[in-house]
Structure 1
Amino acid sequence: MTEPTPEQLATELVDLLDVEELDTDLYRGKVGNDGFGRVFGGQVIGQALQAAQRSTDAPKIAHSLHAYFMRPGAEELPIIYRVVRDFDGRSFATRRVIAMQKGQPILNMACSLQTPEGGLAHQDAMPDVPPPEELKSDRELRLAMMDEIPERFRHQFLRPRMIEIRPVTPRSWLHPVKQEPRQSSWFRVVAPIGDDAAMHRAILAYASDMSLLGTASLAHGVSWMTHKLQSTSLDHSVWLHEDFRADDWLLYTTDSPWAGHARGFNRGKIYARDGRLVASCAQEGLMRLRE
């Protein structure tokens, strides 16, 4: 079977996050094809953000979102997004988005949008890490261990992805060891996607769920491939600070300051290649070990 080209994969991602307007403040998200049986959380966040952005007139742009996952989404069903316009002011607007399948909410999200303005400014410095050109992609690393991957995981673990990831310090999925719960990786869409800034924000929100959840497990030397580890996102927050392009390299640095009571807390910072801090993230996830 011929693998899709990078351009086809990028088009697939844009199409996935391009929600359809059914009626005023009512949108439908397309079905994904991850093949895991349940919808990837980043897809729901990205589509919900698009619904909030579509319901708000320019020049206001999204600067933060806070989401709670309530039920796993069924991968074979479209998701309906209902937007509630809680506030429309001169500088800010606030939206609530309810994502539903079969009449039941699977995610609630609050989103704030702001008219751009200047102000006092500072930021954390970008970590000193090797550039992406010096690193192997996540897929290259996985293909190198193909023979070790259990058959039931092989297809999904090795398939081409819409987001290319190049880890700075690759983790071992098959032979995990206890280590400091922090990691860094470069990521970008695999091909150019045009200049729609709202779509770039939606893609960052989508990708922000790809490296965050597993950070807490690094401290305990466990992996979903080698342990009976039940993990899923419970909530997810993103703050959008500066303009960026999701088809240019972005550095995602994550750390986990705490875990306990079957939950792990994770934080993330996303930098553009020029050193600007363009987004910050936080997430608490279920981390239940069933040995």
Structure 2
Amino acid sequence: MNPYKVIFNQIKRGACVFAGGRACSLPDLLKGVEKLDKHCSRFRSTNLMEGIVASQRIFGGQMIGQAIYAACSGTMHSEALVPRSLHVSFMKGGNVNHPLLFVMNDNYKDNLRRHCTVSVMQKDTMVISINMSLQKPETEESTFHEDSIPPSPQPEQLPKHDSWFHSYLKMRDADELDYMIIDMMTKGLSHTFDNREVDEFYGDDLQLPRNVFWVKAHESVDQREPALHHAIVSYISDSLMIAAALRPHVSLFSNVSQIASLNHCIWFHQKRFNISDWMFRLSSIRYWEAMVSPGKIGNDSNSRSFDSYGSQFMDTLTTALE
């Protein structure tokens, strides 16, 4: 098949991202790390994606997802590992014009698990640091964490959203500039996923600092690579949780001067899940103020069968000009 036709079909169904001036599938983007040594301790990435269009800043979710894939595949185990938990500290923003270097340092490793620190470097400067706990996927049945979720319409009953904010921007009679800002913030991130927001949880208060929605990847992701599903969940969680932090500032979008992730923690309750299936996510911010908000955002995620597959927690900083 003509490769250009393949890319066109991917764009049409929302199954690709744009990085480094070209289109590629999301799995290929996260797997696009080059091994630099035989000890699997150093990897490089040159195909980098902007978090905000024309900002030149690398999307933090890409760095986390690529670090997970590199750490899980760069092991000496006969079976690839999957992450159990990770703690990400963002030091500074990365630039899409310079390659990233992923440096793995093992703190502990045996036949079943690995604890490592991944330093993501750019031009000899650390961009983010990740402490990661990895383990083998269990082949036998294990105990799954279960959690109840609020009654919700099924995703097929909900409309698609071009952007997480379009629905209530319209209700607030927002001006064109607000729409442009939101589109710029989410372009290249959200269109690779099918998002169905559950608006009924907000009632009359559209500025409640939480997001409730169904989400799944547009394309089918290979089930033979469980670590790739963990990487994709981590990739999208950064922007999904930021969305909750921005809700209290819906009237200030045109004045927002800074949006940054500070710390990001993820705990995976299951070793195998499918990002191509519908998942229910609830993100809520613990603390916020009107103008400057260091928000602590919690996120619980459940599969459609209501098995809990992960919990996330993130510190964010949102600054708005008076």
- TM-score between the two structures when normalised by the length of structure 2: 0.78
Do 1:100 and 1:107's aligned partners in 2 also have CA atoms closer than 8 Å? yes
1:41 counterpart = 2:60: yes
Residue 140 of structure 1 deviates from its aligned partner by: 7.1
Q: Secondary structure at the match of 1:212?
A: helix
Taking the aligned partners of 2:142 and 2:187, their CA distance within structure 1 comes to 44
Once the two structures are superposed, the pairs formed by residues 161-240 of structure 1 within 5 Å of their partners are 161-169=191-199, 179-195=207-223, 196-218=225-247, 220-222=248-250, 225-240=253-268
Taking the aligned partners of 2:59 and 2:180, their CA distance within structure 1 comes to 19
Alignment identity in percent?
Answer: 26
Residue 127 of structure 1 deviates from its aligned partner by: 2.6
- Which of the residues 291, 302, 311 maps onto 1:271? 302
Residue 134 of structure 1 deviates from its aligned partner by: 1.4
The number of residues matched between the two structures is 286
Residue 119 of structure 1 deviates from its aligned partner by: 6.4
Residue 179 of structure 1 deviates from its aligned partner by: 3.4
Taking the aligned partners of 2:175 and 2:256, their CA distance within structure 1 comes to 18
1:156 counterpart = 2:184: yes
Greater mean deviation of Cα atoms: 113-122 or 7-16: 113-122
Do 2:287 and 2:293's aligned partners in 1 also have CA atoms closer than 8 Å? no
Which digits, 9 at most, give the CA deviation of each residue in 1:117-140, with x for residues without a partner? 676654321332111111122217
Taking the aligned partners of 1:122 and 1:136, their CA distance within structure 2 comes to 30
Q: Secondary structure at the match of 2:239?
A: coil
Letter in 2 for 1:166: R
Residue 111 of structure 1 deviates from its aligned partner by: 0.6
Do 1:96 and 1:110's aligned partners in 2 also have CA atoms closer than 8 Å? yes
Which digits, 9 at most, give the CA deviation of each residue in 1:177-205, with x for residues without a partner? 66332221111111112222111110001
Q: Does the C-alpha gap of structure 1 residues 59 and 282 become closer, same or farther in structure 2, counting only changes over 3 Å?
A: same
Taking the aligned partners of 1:223 and 1:214, their CA distance within structure 2 comes to 14
Which residue pairs with 2:29 in the alignment? 16
Q: Does the C-alpha gap of structure 1 residues 158 and 210 become closer, same or farther in structure 2, counting only changes over 3 Å?
A: closer
Residue 66 of structure 1 deviates from its aligned partner by: 0.5
Which residue pairs with 1:27 in the alignment? 43
1:74 counterpart = 2:103: no
- Which of the residues 108, 117, 137 maps onto 2:129? 108
1:97 counterpart = 2:111: no
Do 1:92 and 1:113's aligned partners in 2 also have CA atoms closer than 8 Å? yes
Taking the aligned partners of 2:93 and 2:201, their CA distance within structure 1 comes to 27
Q: Mind listing any 5+ residue stretches in structure 1 that lack a counterpart?
A: none
Do 1:46 and 1:203's aligned partners in 2 also have CA atoms closer than 8 Å? yes
Residue 224 of structure 1 deviates from its aligned partner by: 6.0
Letter in 1 for 2:48: V
Q: Secondary structure at the match of 1:183?
A: strand
Q: Secondary structure at the match of 1:246?
A: coil
- CA RMSD in angstroms, aligned pairs only: 3.1
Q: Secondary structure at the match of 1:207?
A: helix
Which digits, 9 at most, give the CA deviation of each residue in 1:212-235, with x for residues without a partner? 1232343x3446633334221001
Which residue pairs with 1:249 in the alignment? 278
Do 2:104 and 2:118's aligned partners in 1 also have CA atoms closer than 8 Å? yes
- TM-score between the two structures when normalised by the length of structure 1: 0.85
Q: Does the C-alpha gap of structure 1 residues 282 and 167 become closer, same or farther in structure 2, counting only changes over 3 Å?
A: same
- Which of the residues 150, 159, 179 maps onto 1:136? 159
Greater mean deviation of Cα atoms: 107-116 or 178-187: 178-187
Letter in 2 for 1:113: L
Residue 153 of structure 1 deviates from its aligned partner by: 3.5
Do 1:126 and 1:277's aligned partners in 2 also have CA atoms closer than 8 Å? no
Q: Does the C-alpha gap of structure 1 residues 216 and 71 become closer, same or farther in structure 2, counting only changes over 3 Å?
A: same
Residue 76 of structure 1 deviates from its aligned partner by: 2.8
Residue 72 of structure 1 deviates from its aligned partner by: 0.6
